[in-house]
């Protein structure tokens, strides 16, 4: 009986280290405080306090506040806040084809790793806030559990948007194959100063469907079938519809100042981050 | 052709399978997609058209033809023919009788009993009418047994078995041949030679059953093996020799000699006396001493010439000089020579300095008149003259006087010694048939060849540019 694949195995960890070094080089070449989408703050701008949570770096406790108020508060700076990322991974069944969910979880893990490595925090939407590199394993454990079994990502978006406190930095990985209206909760979060990075992962057969033969399209999300003769005309029509859909999301991203990246599920993780998402992470 | 051949059955089953594969609805491939959202838009935008009627493509036709042809080939089409009936060729040696051939009925029974399932072809050099009721009888030219057997063996090469009924064993029986004795018992008392030497008759026959001889008295008998030679002395002009199946008549026929004017000397009379008793015929069969008649031996026909310093040259190939002591023969005694005549053949010439002076003996163009320029019968020694006369008579009549039989046989030919002394012997050879030639003509190679060509054509269709692309 074959061992189940560990999507966060040694190879992946080596990729993360490679990615970290690559991003550090990018940062060095671009200079500190490089402007990112919608950000105009300095690295050490003091932004305020927040209550201590287990796992927080004790070195950042504000002992003065503790002396005066008797409670633990952590000092937050603008730069540091940017590294408090919230990760939302689409776990709908549509993420199964082409192993989209694998790249999605690995990308989320990479973002979380980078945040933790830089003294930030990482939170899997609906999970606990993690801080410190030592907690990366916990993040991985949580990501391992995220199998593509849900009907839709929309409830998760709604739940996230309905939280009293909006995440400061939200990294969403999805295939985007939902109606544009379903992304309205993200727009709402943007209104609440949440920096949204939307990474769309599509399977190769979704980008280039086969052009011959009768096929029985099985919609994993709908759990319905659609018989279709995949003629070149229909494939072209499909690709046009996909392009139109992505343009709709692009327009949505521009309007809400999201960072948007579209990638193939077979893409190399390091290349993906250093090329398409370098501006976000560096 | 039968489709019950396992290979043919398999190939026959391949045809419906091929058709089913070609005509079956293409099974839709299941393709998982994350969501049907976009595909539904596509289905709405580009409606599904009715499935096109599937047509049999050229490739299918070619493949079906290949399978059909291969099936035909595997079924082994052939032109069936009746099972080959073995052919037995039977040679029956003649026994040389003038009447019905002895033991033909016995031969027929032996063959028909032993080879009842075979087709019999009879070969016989005698009167084929005697075998007509046996069916197919092939005639061969009569001749010595070896010649007849050679004809038979050559003509019956395709037979399954050859059976030879012969008078004597065959030393080396040919393959697929059975050599059987022509007779079931030793032939007895069959006369195969009657010869006279003057008044004495010699009758040669098989053993036992001595012939009945009228007009001659038995003088003695000798036996050598199965052969018996009886000696008789003729008493009159007619002798009759009878056996159970033979009736042989002999009549006295002396050699008649006409005498010309030149044949009047004492030597001439002495030579005539030496030819006695054959020379008492009344009708001349040959003339001596003159060349006015034919056949004749003329003498002293030349003209006297000077024959000094000449040489005599004779034609040693001529029967005139056969067994003749030439040293005792004098052809130039009177110094005469014959002038060379057109178409006459010179048997002896006189040469001087290599040139012909004249002929000493010449033969007429028809070979029936022999002329001598001189009289060698007088000039030569007596014995040489007698031999020369004997040769001369033989040259113009065809039979030397010494060979003339006083009693000559009339009537049917006598059997040969082999025929007369035919006796049973141990059969040799084998009665096994030659394996029959397969009379079935197969046509399997043609459909198989066409099937191969169809397969090549199908491969070409598959390999052609653009084949198999949507």
Model pLDDT, residue B2: 62
Q: Where are the beta strands (DSSP E) in chain A?
A: 46-51, 73-77, 84-89, 121-124, 129-131, 169-174, 195-202, 214-219, 224-229, 259-264
Task: Check if B26 contacts A (Cβ < 8 Å).
Answer: yes
- End of a domain among A78, A98, A125? A78
Within-domain flag for A60:
yes
Establish how many alpha carbons lie within 13 A of residue A170's alpha carbon, considering only the half-sphere containing its beta carbon. 30
Q: Is B175 within 8 Å of chain A by CB? A: no
Verify that A226 and A168 share a domain, yes or no: yes
DSSP A61: B
Min CA distance, B24 vs chain A (Å)? Answer: 13
Beta-bridge mates of residue A123: A86, A129
One domain, residues A231 and A130: yes
In a domain, A12, yes or no: no
Final residue of a domain: which of A78, A100, A131? A78
Neighbours of B262 (CB within 10 A): 19
Are residue A89 and residue A61 in the same domain, yes or no?
A: no
Report the Cα B179 to chain-centroid distance in Å.
18
Residue ranges making up the domain that contains A74: 40-78
Q: Is residue A23 part of a domain?
A: no
Strand (E) or helix (H) holding B119:
strand B119-124
Is A55 in the same domain as A156? no
Task: List the domain boundaries for chain B.
Answer: 87-186+421-429, 191-253+409-414, 257-404
Question: Does A238 contact B42 at a Cβ distance shorter than 8 Å?
Answer: yes
pLDDT 10s digits, A232-272 = 888 999 999 999 999 999 999 999 989 888 999 998 888 88
**A172: confidence class by pLDDT, cuts 50, 70, 90:** very high
**Which residues of chain A make contact with B51, given a CB cutoff of 8 A?**
229
In a domain, A21, yes or no: no
The CATH number for A136's domain is 3.40.50
Q: How far is CA B135 from CA B90, B132, B138, B280, in A?
A: 12, 6, 10, 55
The ipTM estimated for the assembled molecules is: 0.79
- Whether A64 and A137 map to the same domain: the answer is no
| Mean of all residue pLDDT scores within chain B | 83
pLDDT in the model for residue A103: 93
- Residue A27 belongs to a domain: no
Q: How many beta carbons lie within 10 A of that of residue A78, not counting itself? A: 17
Nearest by CB to residue B32, choosing from A97, A229, A237, is A97
Q: What is the pLDDT of residues A181-214, one digit of tens each?
A: 999 999 999 988 899 999 999 999 899 988 767 7
Same domain, A235 and A96: yes
Closest by Cα among A145, A256, A250 to A190: A256
Q: Burial letters for B45-67: b for 16+ Cβ neighbours within 10 Å, e otherwise?
A: ebeeeeeeeeeeeebbebbbbbb
Q: What CATH topology corresponds to B191-253+409-414?
A: Immunoglobulin-like (2.60.40)
Q: What confidence category does residue A36 fall into, taking pLDDT thresholds of 50, 70 and 90?
A: very low
Residue A93, SS3? helix
Q: What is the pLDDT of residues B262-288, one digit of tens each?
A: 888 899 988 888 776 545 556 788 899
Mark residue B235 as left, alpha or beta (left: phi above 0; alpha: psi -120 to 50; beta: remaining).
alpha
Q: A201 and A263 in contact (C-beta within 8 Å)?
A: yes
Q: Which residues make Cβ contacts (< 8 Å) with residue B70, sequence separation at least 6?
A: B11, B447, B448, B451
CA A150 from centre of chain: 17
Using a CB-CB cut-off of 8 Å, the residues of chain B touching A152 are: none
Mean pLDDT calculated for residue range B190-212: 89
Q: Do B34 and A213 touch (CB under 8 A)?
A: no
Q: In what order do the strands lie in the sheet with B119-124?
A: B136-139, B119-124, B87-92, B161-166, B177-181, B428-429
Cα atoms in the 13 Å half-sphere on the side-chain side of B298: 21
| Whether the predicted pLDDT of A26 surpasses 90 | no
* B216: nearest Cα among B251, B256, B244, B253: B251
- Quick one: which of B432, B431, B439, B442 has its CA closest to B84? B439
pLDDT at res. B137? 76
Rounded Cα distance, A239 and B25, in Å: 28
Contacts for B71 with CB less than 8 Å, ≥ 6 apart: B3, B8, B11, B12, B14, B15
Residues A46 and A97 grouped into a single domain: no
Assigned domain for A9 exists: no
- Three-state secondary structure call for residue B26: coil
Residues A103 and A218 both lie in one domain: yes
> From CA A125, how far away is CA B396, in angstroms rounded?
151
Residue A88 — very low, low, confident or very high, per pLDDT cuts 50/70/90? very high
Tell me, yes or no, whether A45 and A64 share the same domain. Answer: yes
d(CA A242, CA B46): 15
Residue of A nearest to B34 (CA): A94
Contact B26 A213 (CB under 8 A): yes
């Amino acid at each position: 009986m074959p061992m189940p694949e560990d999507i966060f195995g040694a190879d992946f960890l080596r990729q993360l280290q490679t990615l970290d070094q690559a991003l550090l080089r990018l940062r060095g070449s671009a200079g500190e405080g490089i402007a990112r989408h919608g950000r105009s703050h300095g690295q050490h701008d003091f932004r305020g306090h927040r209550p201590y949570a287990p796992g927080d770096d004790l070195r950042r406790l504000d002992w003065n506040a503790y002396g005066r108020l008797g409670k633990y508060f952590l000092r937050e700076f603008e730069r540091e806040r940017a590294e408090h990322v919230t990760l939302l991974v689409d776990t709908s069944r549509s993420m199964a084809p082409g192993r989209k969910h694998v790249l999605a979880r690995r990308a989320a893990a990479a973002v979380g790793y980078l945040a933790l490595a830089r003294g930030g925090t990482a939170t899997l939407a609906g999970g606990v806030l993690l801080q410190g590199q030592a907690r990366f394993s916990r993040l991985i454990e949580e990501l391992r559990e995220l199998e593509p079994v849900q009907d839709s990502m929309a409830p998760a978006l709604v739940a996230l948007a309905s939280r009293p406190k909006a995440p400061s930095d939200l990294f969403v990985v999805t295939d985007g194959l939902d109606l544009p209206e379903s992304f309205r909760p993200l727009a709402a979060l943007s209104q609440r100063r949440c920096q949204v990075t939307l990474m769309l992962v599509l399977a190769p057969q979704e980008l280039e469907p086969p052009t011959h033969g009768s096929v029985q399209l099985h919609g994993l999300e709908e759990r319905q079938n659609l018989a279709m003769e995949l003629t070149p005309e229909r494939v072209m029509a499909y690709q046009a519809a996909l392009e139109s859909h992505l343009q709709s999301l692009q327009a949505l991203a521009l309007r809400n100042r999201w960072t948007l990246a579209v990638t193939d599920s077979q893409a190399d993780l390091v290349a993906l981050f250093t090329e398409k998402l370098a501006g976000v992470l560096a | 052709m039968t489709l019950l051949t396992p290979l043919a059955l398999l190939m026959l089953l391949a045809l419906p399978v091929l058709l089913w594969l070609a005509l079956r609805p293409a099974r839709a491939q299941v393709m998982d997609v994350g969501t049907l959202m976009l595909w539904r838009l596509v289905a709405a935008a580009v409606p599904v058209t009715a499935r096109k009627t599937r047509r049999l493509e050229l490739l299918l036709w070619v493949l079906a033809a290949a399978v059909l042809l291969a099936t035909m080939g595997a079924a082994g089409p052939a032109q069936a023919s009746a099972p080959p009936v073995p052919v037995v060729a039977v040679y029956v040696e003649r026994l040389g009788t003038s009447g019905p051939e002895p033991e033909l009925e016995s031969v027929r029974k032996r063959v028909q009993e032993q080879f009842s399932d075979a087709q019999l072809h009879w070969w016989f050099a005698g009167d084929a009418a005697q075998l007509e009721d046996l069916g197919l009888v092939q005639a061969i030219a009569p001749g010595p047994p070896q010649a007849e057997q050679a004809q038979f063996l050559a003509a019956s090469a395709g037979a399954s078995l050859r059976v030879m009924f012969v008078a004597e064993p065959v030393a080396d029986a040919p393959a697929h041949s059975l050599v059987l004795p022509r007779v079931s018992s030793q032939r007895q008392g069959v006369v195969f030679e009657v010869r006279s030497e003057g008044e004495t008759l010699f009758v040669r026959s098989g053993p036992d059953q001595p012939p009945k001889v009228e007009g001659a008295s038995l003088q003695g008998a000798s036996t050598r093996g199965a052969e018996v030679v009886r000696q008789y002395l003729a008493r009159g002009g007619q002798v009759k020799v009878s056996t159970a199946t033979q009736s042989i008549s002999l009549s006295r026929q002396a050699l008649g000699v006409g005498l010309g004017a030149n044949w009047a000397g004492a030597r001439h009379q002495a030579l005539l006396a030496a030819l006695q008793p054959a020379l008492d015929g009344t009708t001349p069969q040959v003339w001596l001493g003159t060349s006015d008649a034919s056949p004749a031996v003329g003498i002293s026909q030349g003209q006297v010439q000077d024959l000094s310093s000449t040489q005599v040259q004779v034609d040693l190939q001529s029967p005139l000089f056969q067994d003749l002591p030439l040293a005792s023969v004098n052809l130039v005694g009177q110094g005469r020579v014959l002038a060379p005549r057109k178409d006459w053949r010179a048997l002896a010439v006189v040469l001087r300095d290599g040139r012909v002076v004249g002929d000493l003996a010449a033969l007429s163009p028809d070979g029936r008149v022999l002329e001598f320029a001189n009289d060698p019968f007088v000039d030569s020694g007596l014995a040489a003259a007698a031999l020369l006369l004997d040769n001369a008579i033989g040259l113009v009549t065809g039979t030397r006087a010494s060979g003339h039989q006083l009693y000559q046989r009339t009537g049917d030919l006598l059997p040969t010694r082999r025929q007369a002394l035919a006796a049973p012997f141990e059969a040799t050879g084998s009665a096994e048939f030659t394996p029959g030639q397969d009379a079935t003509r197969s046509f399997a190679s043609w459909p198989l060849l066409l099937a191969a060509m169809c397969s090549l054509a199908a491969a070409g269709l598959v390999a052609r540019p653009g084949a198999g692309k949507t």
